[in-house]
Structures are given as C-alpha cells and as structure tokens.
Amino acid sequence: MWRADEHEELTDLSWAEPTARGAIESIVSDAVSAATDGFWPGHPRDDVGPDERFGSLYLGSAGMIWALWRLGASFDHSSAVSSAIERYRAEPDFGPEAHPPSLLMGEAGLLLVAAKLGSPAADRERLRDLVAENRAHPTWELMWGSPGTILAARACGLCNEWEQSAGLLWEHWDAASALWTQDLYGHSSQILGPVHGLAGNVHALRGYVADDVLRERTTRLLERMALREDGLVNWPPAVDEPRSNIRVQWCHGAPGIISTVGDLIPHSLSVAGGELIWRTGALRKGPGLCHGTAGNGFAFLKLYELTGDERWLCRARRFAMHAIQQVEQQRSEHGRGRYTLMTGDIGVALYLKACLDAEASFPIIDAL
C-alpha cells in the first residue's frame, strides 16, 4: 500500500498559528531577497545548477512570482514577470528549439501569471495561440498537454479556446475503460493522478461535461483500480503498474486523487485514502507540493471541506508543522532556500496559509 522507506514519523509538535505565520514570513522574505531580475537560483534537489534560470510555473520564475503575489509579498511582481517572459523567449528552459505551450512547463504558464497580475507583458492573443496549439498534444495530461492550457484559458476568459480544447479532450476519453492513454516521455501509459493522468483531465473537464457523467466514469474507474487493505485505500500510479512502484504523493497516489477529484467519488473511498495518508506519515522527499508533505496535506483539507470533520483539519495542520521543520532542515543543509512553486519552500508557505484559512484549493489547479 506504501513504501515505508519513503516516509518518516510525523513531528509531535502541535499546531501553533504564530509558528505558521512566522514560517510564511520567513519563506517569503527569503524568496524576495534571493530574486535577481525575475529569476531565482536552481537547487541541487531539483537537479538544477545555481546559475540555471528557469521560467516555468512548475520549476521557475512564473511559479515563484505567482506565489509571492498570492501571499501578498512586497515585490515588483509585474517587472519580474516581464523580465522572465523576455528571457524565456530568448533562452527557453529546455534549449533553443524548445518552446512548449504547456501550462506548468511552458510559455502559457508565464502568460497566465502576467494576465493575473495585470502586467504589461500579458498577451491575450499569444496565449490564445498557445492554447490552440496545445489542444491535441499527445500527452493528454495536465503538465504538458491540453488539460493545463484549458485551465489557463478558462482563467483568462478565453471561452472558445478552452471549450474547443475540452471538446477534444472529451472525445479522447475512452468510455469503455474510463481512461485516457498518455504518450509521455517516449512511453505509452494510462495514468491515474492529477499531473499526468485521469484526475487532472477530469478536473479540466468541469464545466464542460456534466458532473454526474464525470462522477460515474471517475467512480467506476477508481473503484476498480483501488488497492484495499485493512480499511485503507491507495491507487497505483498507472494501469498495470508494478505494486513495487506504489506512491503516496500528490502527483501519484491517494493524495492527489483526493484533493483533485475527491468530490466526484464516494466519501468512503476518499476517507479510506485519507486514513492511508495519515498512517504513512510525512514524506522523506521533502516538504513541497508535488511529492512532499505539503502536497499530501492538501488531501486532508479537501476531506475537511467534504465532511466537515475537524479531525481532518487537525491532521492537515500537523502535517504543516512537520513541513515547517523540513524547510528549516533543508535550508540548514544547503545554506539557502529552494525556490520553486511545486517542489520548493514557497509551496509550503501557500500550504501554511491554506491551513490557517482552512481552505482546500490546491495552488494553480484550483486557485488561480
């Protein structure tokens, strides 16, 4: 059901609001001071050198700028995103020939942030073109494909573009299996989680496909694919995935499925998945959103929203206290912060704020 060596015992520190607020202030202050011309140094845990400059939402400037804006930081967000877009176009993250239109890894994410900030760098027509270019991307998943650019288009009021993309995504959803097939990194897979598969795709179809249809197909598949033991539930990363590759992360496993489509499956499934996350403890990989303690904690906030049961909010806040410790430990180990939205410290700050506000919206996926 999970791999014990990927998890660690949860801190016994009780929730303390002043500690959470202080950690947010510390993370934000560190991030602001580390910025240079709209960019932040890479981190060894991301396999990125300190002099490499990434622009994307997932790993680069767009994510940092957006998060600082959401957190109300005193920072020149508009100038920073303008600089990031200019440099990204001259020096794309993945080399001179690579200009992916995707939300999390490409130019669409930068333009989305510019639009949300009201920056002069916002370019509605360019974003419209990127959404159209990406609508038949063969990955059929959120990180690179149309589900991500559907979210961007919808957030920016590009109604025709997101509906056209959603229509094509809907056509590629196989009714018999309730799955999409991903052509991703040279492999063909049928993936279940939010960033590379079913959960993210279903979420992108909200408002285009009726909830009862989404609920029927999603429940049918996730009931069938659920791994069950002692009242706990988890899901494999993909169909036919070896049991040895099981994960308990936002990107793969129960946490991301609950936080993304937990309202579309029976509460019994979501609750059993939540109990599994609590039983496993915190993730050793770190405190971040994609595959860290904060990302897992968002599942508890979703369960609190769905059930009204205070124990889920208490559990989310216990994970928050552990994530604060992990940020401090990694900062001590490396002598500085980790400056990315999905793997770094700023994602933890957003999670801490969500715990303060008892708000389940996951960054970018729900909250734009």
Per-residue model confidence as pLDDT tens digits over 218-266: 999 999 999 999 999 999 999 999 988 999 999 999 999 999 999 999 9
Q: Are the beta carbons of 248 and 5 closer than 8 angstroms? A: no
Q: In angstroms, rounded to a whole number, what is the distance separating the alpha carbons of residues 323 and 301?
A: 15
CA angle, 190 then 196 then 199, to 5°: 85
Closest CA to 65 of 45, 46, 50, 85: 85
Q: Residue 61 contacts by C-beta under 8 Å, 6 or more apart in sequence?
A: 38, 39, 40, 53, 54, 55, 80, 81, 84, 88, 110
Q: What is the pLDDT along the chain (368 residues), one digit of tens a residue?
A: 999 999 999 999 999 999 999 999 999 999 999 999 899 999 999 999 888 889 999 999 999 999 999 999 999 999 999 999 999 998 888 777 778 999 999 999 999 999 999 999 999 999 999 999 999 999 999 999 999 999 999 999 999 999 999 999 999 999 999 999 999 999 999 999 999 999 999 999 999 999 999 999 999 999 999 999 999 999 999 999 998 899 999 999 999 999 999 999 999 999 999 999 999 999 999 999 999 999 999 999 999 999 999 999 999 999 999 999 999 999 999 999 999 999 999 999 999 999 999 999 999 999 88
Q: In angstroms, rounded to a whole number, what is the distance separating the alpha carbons of residues 294 and 27?
A: 14
Q: Quick one: the chain helix, strand, coil %, rounded to 5?
A: 55, 5, 40
The token duo for 337 is 């912060």
The token duo for 191 is 């993936």
Helix (H, G, I), strand (E, B), or coil: what is residue 305?
helix
Closest CA to 296 of 308, 311, 312: 312
Backbone phi and psi for residue 234, each to the nearest 5 degrees, phi listed first? -140, 170
Helix and strand element counts for the chain (H, E): 14, 6
Q: What's the DSSP call for residue 15?
A: P
Q: In angstroms, rounded to a whole number, what is the distance separating the alpha carbons of residues 77 and 266?
A: 41
